[in-house]
A and B are shown apart, each in its own frame.
Chain A
């Protein structure tokens, strides 16, 4: 069973992996509240896509079934799942709970 802590770990690992690919001047702080999307976010759009793809893949692998973070449902949420780490975590936990 994938727990909330487990999902958080996957998200933070994806952010750390992204950080590893960046130059020193581009690196950002990885925390459970890191802003992902929006005017004050530190990730550009391609970087965010990379994180989403990595998280989607790793959560799917851990669950043993595919989840989608890029379908119409995700895109039409009242609160964007991609605002920050916490909104992404909350949205993934909804998908996990659906079984």
Chain B
């Protein structure tokens, strides 16, 4: 997959160490962007235009500190991809509260804080794209994913409200609801459960990285200035 058209753009990707986030970060780098990565661990991308920040998006103070570090590198951000997420799949009655709280912190509070701080920078340049990585779980509401699905559903609402608040700044906010993709996160779930869900979809296959990057490019495009407060699901989920 090649990309172009991101020269001069500064893109912040959360959860950039692995999986979908790493693929998205590398996609923007291939397109000529400067990429800022937030992750709890050390960098896994080596590229001259990649700047890594060890940030736990589930901790508001860590996000604020991360943005203070970003401002030492750049004074503008054009595109944000809120990708970082954690998943614990368990029946609600036996879900450890700490695991549920961690999902709430990382999957919902994290995007709120990152979008909040990024919007302050986007306000200066009156242009921005905020893209949240949602999940088919928000629509399919699978057993065992009560908190995860609720967070991902909340992510769309978060984007929709921010879309109204940021519209006058020419900042769009959208959500991409991805379905299953081979990743470390997916490996935590029973494979037969995932296969059954995928088999029930109109497009019964796992997502490929390019399926995701295609929609990311669409949301990030200059031409998508009127596309905001939208959630696009992959694979025919609705």
A residues whose Cβ falls under 8 Å from a Cβ of B: 21, 46, 49-50, 53-54, 57, 66
Chain A residues near B120 (CB, 8 Å)? 53, 57
Partner of B68 from A21, A54, A66 at Cβ < 8 Å: A66
- Ordered by A's residue number, 11 sampled pairs between the chains whose C-beta atoms are within 8 Å are A21-B168, A46-B165, A46-B168, A49-B165, A50-B123, A53-B120, A53-B123, A54-B123, A57-B120, A66-B64, A66-B68
Q: Which chain A positions have C-beta within 8 A of B123?
A: 50, 53-54
Interface residues of B in 167-200 (CB under 8 A from A): 168
Q: How far is the CA of A66 from the CA of B68 in the complex (A)?
A: 9
CA distance A50 to B64 in the complex (A): 18
The list of the 6 closest CB pairs from A to B, nearest first, reads A53-B120, A57-B120, A53-B123, A66-B68, A46-B165, A50-B123
Chain B residues contacting A66 (CB-CB under 8 Å) are 64, 68
Question: Which of B64, B123, B165 has the largest number of chain A CB atoms within 10 A?
Answer: B123
What 0/1 pattern do residues 152 to 173 of B give for CB contact below 8 A with A?
Answer: 0000000000000100100000
What is the chain B residue whose CB lies nearest that of A54? B123
The SS class assigned to the A binding surface is helix
Residues of B within 8 A of A50 (CB): 123
Q: Which residues of A contact B165 (CB under 8 A)?
A: 46, 49
- Expressed in whole angstroms, the minimum distance between the Cβ of A75 and any Cβ of chain B is 16
**Chain A residues within an 8 Å CB radius of B168:** 21, 46
Chain B 57-86, CB-CB to A under 8 Å as 1, else 0, gives 000000010001000000000000000000
By a beta-carbon cutoff of 8 Å, the part of chain B in contact with chain A is 64, 68, 120, 123, 165, 168
Which residues on B sit within 8 Å (CB–CB) of A53?
120, 123
CA distance A46 to B64 in the complex (A): 22
For the complex, what is the distance from the CA of A53 to the CA of B169, rounded to whole Å?
Answer: 13
Within the complex, the shortest CB–CB distance from A81 to chain B, in Å, comes to: 18
Given contacts A53-B123, A66-B68, list 9 more A-B pairs with CB under 8 A.
Answer: A21-B168, A46-B165, A46-B168, A49-B165, A50-B123, A53-B120, A54-B123, A57-B120, A66-B64
A88 to B36 Cα, complex, angstroms: 34
Please name the residue on chain B nearest to A53 by beta carbon.
B120
Q: Which residue of B lies closest to A68 (CB)?
A: B64
User: Chain B residues near A49 (CB, 8 Å)?
Assistant: 165
In the complex formed, the residue of B with least CB distance to A57 is B120
Complex Cα gap A66–B117 (Å): 13
Alpha-carbon gap, A6 to B188, bound state (A): 55
Q: Which residues of B contact A46 (CB under 8 A)?
A: 165, 168
For the complex, what is the distance from the CA of A21 to the CA of B171, rounded to whole Å? 15
Which B residues are in CB contact (< 8 Å) with A54? 123
Which B residue sits closest to A65, measured CB to CB? B68
Complex-state Cα separation, A49 to B164, whole angstroms? 14
Closest-by-CB residue of A relative to B71 is A61
Nearest CB in chain A: distance from B70 CB, A: 13
CB-nearest residue of chain B to A21? B168
How far does the alpha carbon of A55 sit from the alpha carbon of B226 in the complex, in Å?
29
- How far is it, in angstroms, between the C-alpha of A66 and the C-alpha of B65 when the chains are bound? 10
A66 to B69, CA, bound (A): 12
Q: Give the nearest-CB partner of B169 in chain A.
A: A50
